[in-house]
Structure 1
Amino acid sequence: MGPHRKALRTTAVGAVSATLVAGTALGLAPTAQAAPHPVRFVDIAGEGGTVLKANVVTPSDAAATARYPLLVMPTSWGLPQIEYLAQAQKLADSGYVVVTYNVRGFWQSGGEIEVAGPPDVADASKVIDWALAHTPADPAHVGMAGVSYGAGISLLTAAHDERVRAVASLSGWADLIGSIYAGRTQHLQAAAVLDGASIVTGRQGAEVRAVFDDFYSSNLAKEPELIAWGKKRSAVTYVDRINRNGTAVMLANAWGDSVFPPNQSADFYEKLTGPKRLELRPGDHATAELTGLFGLPNDVWKSTARWFDHHLRGEDNGIDREPPVRLKSRSAGPYEDYADWKSAGATERKIALADSRTIRAGVNSGADGGVVFLSSILDQVAQVPPMASIPLLPRRWAAVWQSEKYRSAQQVRGTARLHTTLTPTKESGTLVAHLYDVGPLGLGKLVSHAPYTFHGRTPGEPFGVDLELYSTAYDVPAGHRLALVVDTVDPLYIEHNPSGAQLTFSSPANDPSYVSVPLREQ
């Protein structure tokens, strides 16, 4: 099955997923109806007069002359405007004016989907304008928050509208290209879910449809345009503006986020110079925040409320004095706090990738990253990540290296890095590196992975490969090994391996190959 046919098939799966997610959000409606604060359903004129369907919740004891901090919350991709009502009620209880709105192109809002383009950013500013004119909102204390799509729009708006003093980005992105095109590889299943959801719940314009089609077809001639399109929609492009504005930024993501991997959030966090906080937990895209959307106790939303209480309401709740990086291992255990991101994996241990390995391309060896959403949710709920029997992996299709058995537990924290020398037989190719925790019987549990694609290489000529695997927190038990498995096919991604291609991995004496694993100091 070719890449385009696989994309179409997966898009159908994504459309079904979108319908189910939307149904879940609609289930929040009874919560909103039973809540004590009245909800106003209003129309707000966005950029160019586009109608945005919105909800307004204000403190129940609002006095005629009182002013309250404002929180603006754009909806997630494919979800309706009632998405945040349970949290909006709680925030109104705490003294906020909350305006949630359906982004353009989805559900009953007007316009076409812009994928966080300039019209979406302009819309957010128009919503702020409207709230300041029609609610008891304080113009000096404005914040934005959102999950997924709403998170990305919130960050971008903070870069373009200096009135936004604080942001909580939940399961969002800071680098769109570094998310769905990381390693110069199309993240097929993630893109197809987004595509399918937008077809079911929104209206795609010609530009967005062309972007998806070029993405699926691996149109290299359009690659520069795709990258420029993505950079315009990435907060990291405007990080200097956010820093200049002094915006307080909280980032919360999940280790297994199959749409926006945690690396790009951690990289963005490192570039911020103002008040900042980074929280990473087990789970997949938006699953860590999900229970909070039903009004249930939730760590992510608790941190979000504390972040705004301090930076918008001036509450001395201590969040500014806490270590700003908070992580939770996928292997259970309490939260861990660090002074900065690099301190989490302060010790690095290298696994030598000695000897030469040659593999044939085009066949899934059995080592892969699982299924979008399903695999990471299973890991979150039951600590059952994708698995593979390492001894049984066919060496014709997979290159395998293993560490020694560890005498004590190894707490992997951060970003593992692969460095190797690759010699291809074709000018293009894709490889996927998988890091496994291997038990005594040879069963490997996936710790991390990442894809890498190359084009325009001279066949038979070696070149260096440096690849960051997706950041994670995972505890390898004593008596286990770590194994690096490299093959060429993973259903999560579009692969670019011509028929008959082979890849040879070597470790020259003057440039040895290795995988560097970040470990927590014990």
Structure 2
Amino acid sequence: MALRRLITLFTAFALVASTSVITSPAHAAVATTGFSAVDIAGDGGVVLKANVIAPSAAGRHPAVILPSSWGLNDLEYLAQARVLAGRGYVVVSYTPRGWWLSGGEIDTAGPKDMADLSRVVDWTMANTAADPARIGAAGISYGAGISLLGAAFDSRIRAVGVLSGWTDLAYSLYADSTRHRQSAGLLELAAQIVGKPSAELTTMLGRFNGNQDVASVMAWAKVRSAATYIDAINANRPAVLIANGWGDTFFPPNQLVDFYGKLTTPKRLELRPGDHAIAELSGVLGLPNDVWTSLYSWLDEHLATGATRANPIYLKPLNASGETYPSWSAQTTSTVRHGLGRIRTLDGTGLLGGAVSSGWTKQIPTDEDTVACGGVVLLTNGAAAITGEQPEIWLPFVDRGEAGVWAAERPSTVQRIRGVPKLHLELSGTEARGTVVAYLYDLDAIGNAKLITHAPATWLTGAAGARSIDLKLPAAAYDVPAGHSLTLVVDTVDPLYYDENAAGDSITIGGGSYLDVPIG
């Protein structure tokens, strides 16, 4: 409890101080009531700690409910709540059950959290000047997931802001059948330090870490996934803004792209450089921020002014200026297939490009890591977003005895990667269970390789022997400079993930393998 009080006081101090810094350009602030701390009765009478701020003018106002992130509390949004209130919104921020001083146990965006959100809507309508026809919900991470899921169960929520949220929790935990070690570990640590984990959560995390009863964990995750309730969300027709980072190690972006494509409501998708919750972080700290500015516009469009922006897709490439498109598919004009070729004896590197070929093999060990890696959860891609420089390795340091490396020719023009690269591998000598990890790099003339995207793929069934792997790498927007080589590295170990490889074994990559690259 001492640690909880210390962090609470620190968070309050930092965020209250930040409210004197943030500004709201091109929008004259209205007078507000100031903050009030309140208790809201959630489902079953559980007390939810919350704070409220509103315009002081008479009359009804649009309202925004902000559930806090995993591991944080309602003080998280003080800076942004102040701005939103100054823009004419009633703002109710609350700490979900099981966290900090709120009652109950962590429900992980389950049925109790959905009931709680509806109770918060009830309280807001009964105790503030909120207009019942103009209710929104938004948040970062856990708050984003609760807000989006809540729109499936409560039709009063007319606009949603999903900032660094998930739409498919099973995919987040087991993308391509690979368990995400570091991200799940941080979530578990936060729950133990500042939360009250339920017996159910403890059981599911134990099964996840032990790789036991995967079906039960997947079923638990499905209940907590907006993708499960897409029909209900479409029927309720809330306006949905989804904003995330290209390098989100908690909730990789492909799930969001798939979900966005199935939405028939008013919708907008934005992707920017960075890891989980990094793109919107400066706004939480009280500084001007593009993500929060976009959320202001989204709420205004659907709860206030009714104006809309022309193109619903906004992409900030990893190394280029922002772009807008009328649809996700509009960014990709063609797909180039790069065959993986025979490994050269001189440098241990194969050609990436040309027709798909046969008659060659490359053997790699199953229990050796290389310098090719996805980095450290939050830190690596977070730093890249701040510095504008992608994670980098020196490619000659990749041991060719422990990885397959294929490098493309160096074209004289820029290659604009836009979309989801797809890798097909023909494997032999595999066990019934195993893992490979693929990395796509931008290689310059002196061996520096910048990471564009990467992903693991795991197989858990089937007989030992030959098999085919089809892996969708996380979506990317990146300009490979003229004279640089698009380069693929495949190994079998990455500290970000649990792997399913046997020690002392090997996997053989062979002819028929290729990489499809979307070009814009």
Equivalent pair of 2:245/2:279 in contact (CA under 8 Å): yes
Of 131, 146, 161, which aligns to 1:153?
Answer: 146
- Identify the range of structure 1 (147-156 vs 279-288) with the bigger mean alpha-carbon deviation: 279-288
Name the CA shift for 1:83/1:291 in 2 (closer, same or farther; >3 Å): same
Aligned residue type for 1:504 = T
Distance 2:130 2:11 in 1: 30
CA shift, 1:60, in A, is: 1.8
CA shift, 1:456, in A, is: 2.5
CA shift, 1:391, in A, is: 3.2
Partner residue, 1:491: 495
Equivalent pair of 1:26/1:80 in contact (CA under 8 Å): no
Of 313, 327, 335, which aligns to 2:315?
Answer: 327
Of 43, 48, 56, which aligns to 2:44?
Answer: 48
Partner residue, 1:193: 186
CA shift, 1:503, in A, is: 1.0
* 1:436 matches 2:436: no
Of 271, 277, 290, which aligns to 2:268?
Answer: 277
Partner residue, 2:35: 39
Equivalent pair of 1:143/1:312 in contact (CA under 8 Å): yes
Name the CA shift for 1:518/1:243 in 2 (closer, same or farther; >3 Å): same
Partner residue, 1:28: 15
Local SS of the residue matching 1:28: helix
Equivalent pair of 1:28/1:82 in contact (CA under 8 Å): yes
Distance 1:51 1:20 in 2: 20
Partner residue, 1:60: 56
Question: In the TM superposition, what are the counterparts of 1:105-254 in structure 2 within 5 Å?
Answer: 105-219=98-212, 222-254=213-245
Partner residue, 1:463: 467
Equivalent pair of 1:248/1:274 in contact (CA under 8 Å): yes
Local SS of the residue matching 1:478: coil
Partner residue, 1:415: 420
Equivalent pair of 1:25/1:80 in contact (CA under 8 Å): no
CA shift, 1:471, in A, is: 1.2
Distance 1:366 1:22 in 2: 41
Aligned residue type for 2:261 = E
Distance 2:322 2:406 in 1: 32
Aligned residue type for 1:464 = S
Distance 2:232 2:14 in 1: 38
CA shift, 1:210, in A, is: 1.3
Aligned residue type for 1:184 = S
* 1:297 matches 2:288: yes
Equivalent pair of 1:417/1:515 in contact (CA under 8 Å): yes
Aligned residue type for 1:362 = D
Q: TM-score, normalised by structure 1?
A: 0.90
Question: In the TM superposition, what are the counterparts of 1:343-422 in structure 2 within 5 Å?
Answer: 343-354=330-341, 355-422=360-427
Of 239, 250, 254, which aligns to 1:259?
Answer: 250
Render the CA deviation track for 1:488-520: whole Å, top value 9, x for unaligned. Answer: 00010011111222111122xxxx321111121
Render the CA deviation track for 1:262-300: whole Å, top value 9, x for unaligned. Answer: 111111111111110001111111111111113321111
Distance 1:223 1:233 in 2: 16
Partner residue, 1:95: 88
Equivalent pair of 2:371/2:397 in contact (CA under 8 Å): no
Aligned residue type for 1:341 = W
Equivalent pair of 2:395/2:449 in contact (CA under 8 Å): yes
CA shift, 1:36, in A, is: 5.5
**Alignment: residue pair count:** 489
Equivalent pair of 1:412/1:473 in contact (CA under 8 Å): yes
- Identify the range of structure 1 (280-289 vs 417-426) with the bigger mean alpha-carbon deviation: 417-426
Render the CA deviation track for 1:327-366: whole Å, top value 9, x for unaligned. Answer: 11111x3210011111122321121113321111111022
Superposition RMSD on alpha carbons, in Å?
Answer: 1.8
Local SS of the residue matching 2:499: coil
Local SS of the residue matching 2:301: helix
CA shift, 1:231, in A, is: 0.7
Equivalent pair of 1:43/1:52 in contact (CA under 8 Å): yes
Distance 2:193 2:238 in 1: 35
Of 65, 78, 85, which aligns to 2:78?
Answer: 85
Local SS of the residue matching 1:83: helix
Aligned residue type for 2:429 = P
Distance 2:428 2:9 in 1: 47
Unpaired segments ≥5 residues, structure 1: 1-15
Aligned residue type for 2:251 = F
Q: TM-score, normalised by structure 2?
A: 0.91
CA shift, 1:383, in A, is: 3.0
Render the CA deviation track for 1:399-423: whole Å, top value 9, x for unaligned. Answer: 1111111211112122111012122
CA shift, 1:21, in A, is: 11
Equivalent pair of 2:145/2:166 in contact (CA under 8 Å): yes
Render the CA deviation track for 1:211-243: whole Å, top value 9, x for unaligned. Answer: 111111112xx1111111111100011011111
CA shift, 1:132, in A, is: 0.6
Aligned residue type for 1:376 = N
Aligned residue type for 1:480 = H
Equivalent pair of 1:26/1:83 in contact (CA under 8 Å): no
Render the CA deviation track for 1:145-170: whole Å, top value 9, x for unaligned. Answer: 00000000000000111111110100
CA shift, 1:115, in A, is: 0.8
Distance 1:336 1:280 in 2: 10
**Residue identity (%):** 48
CA shift, 1:443, in A, is: 2.0
Equivalent pair of 2:440/2:486 in contact (CA under 8 Å): yes
Question: In the TM superposition, what are the counterparts of 1:511-522 in structure 2 within 5 Å?
Answer: 512-520=512-520
Equivalent pair of 2:32/2:85 in contact (CA under 8 Å): no
Equivalent pair of 1:434/1:450 in contact (CA under 8 Å): yes
Partner residue, 1:268: 259
